[in-house]
Structures are given as structure tokens and as C-alpha cells.
Amino acid sequence: MPLFNVFVDEKLAQRQQILNAQWDSLDTLQQNCKSVPASSWSEFQNNLRDWRSFFNSGSDWSSSSKTATDEWQLKAAEWAKRFDSFGCSGVRGEFIFDSGDRGIPGVKDPPPDDPGILDGVLSAYDKTSSALLAPLATAGWVAVGLVVVVIAAVVWIATKGKGSAGPVSVGGG
């Protein structure tokens, strides 16, 4: 029985599942198309291998994972358009973009970034720590100011003023 992973962003994991199915559809489309140039075929196979490596890595918990997923989604959309330009129109009815271009279903611009669980925790930590550190920073600057005033007073007394305390006297007259 697998352990529950508290760091998984469920929305991102579901989106990656859908995107994986879309990459599989692209692979099927590419395999059934005889007009794909050899260089593009090789490039697609490398991209597909890299996508599967990313997908199988379980990268579904951070904003970096979200950004990488967005990039893979854009690459899938790019491949769908390239296959269309090669004349790979095998199953046209099933491969339609929202804009009407032939492609794979649902491949469009990535959705806006929703922060994941870990991103929310880190953001809350940043806000809390900055709220707690602001008074300390102010106190630090006040201390620096007081040190500068004391040093300036000592220098002034030593050069221009005269002071004495018991047997010790400072400055000249």
C-alpha cells in the first residue's frame, strides 16, 4: 500500500496524467503517419523519451514542476501542429484544438499558476519571517545610529572639547 504523499499537488498531477495521454496520442499519430521526415521523427522520439522520463519522475509538487509541465504542454502543442504540417491527418475528427487546428485534444496554452502546497507553506514562512525580522532590522539600525553618535561625540570631545571625570581629563583648552 503506497504511503500518502503530502507534497503532491493534485491538480498538477492530474494535468500531467492528461498531458501524458496526449503525448501517447501524438506518438500514435506519428507512428501512423508515413510523411514525417526522418530528422523530425528522431527529434520527436527524443522529446517523447524526455517527456516520459519527466512524467515518471513524479515531479508534481513545486512551482518548478508546474513550469516544466507548461513547457511540455507547449512542446506537445508544437508537435501537433508540426505533424499537421507534414500531412499527418490520420484521425482528424479526434484531434482538434480549441482554435480549430488539427492536433490533440486539450493542448492549448498552459493554465495560470496555482501555488502548490509546498509553495503555500514557503510563502507563509516568508511573510511571517519578514514580519518578525522587520522590528529587529529597525532595532539594528537604531543601534548603529547610536554607535555613530557616541563615536562622533568622543572624537569631538577629544579634538574640540574638554571633559574630565575624576583624575582623567580629555581634550585641551
Instruction: Give the range of the structural domain holding residue 22, as residue numbers without chain letter.
Output: 10-114
Q: What value does the mean pLDDT take over residues 1-21?
A: 70
162 shares a domain with 79: no
Q: What value does the mean pLDDT take over residues 51-67?
A: 81
| Contact residues for 81 (Cβ-Cβ < 8 A; gap 6+) | 101, 103
**155-170 tens-digit pLDDT:** 877 777 666 777 777 6
127 shares a domain with 74: no
Predicted confidence at residue 103, as pLDDT, reads 45
130 shares a domain with 54: no
Predicted confidence at residue 4, as pLDDT, reads 47
150 shares a domain with 69: no
144 shares a domain with 62: no
**120-157 tens-digit pLDDT:** 666 666 666 666 677 777 888 888 899 999 998 888 77
DSSP letter string, 89-151: -TTGGG-B-TTS-BS-TT--SPPPPPP-HHHHHHHHHHHHHHHHHHHHHHHHHHHHHHHHHHH
- Residue 110 inside a domain? The answer is yes
51 shares a domain with 85: yes
Give 55's Cβ-side CA count (13 Å radius).
19
Predicted confidence at residue 97, as pLDDT, reads 42
Q: Per-residue confidence at 89, pLDDT binned at 50, 70, 90?
A: low
Domain count, the chain: 2
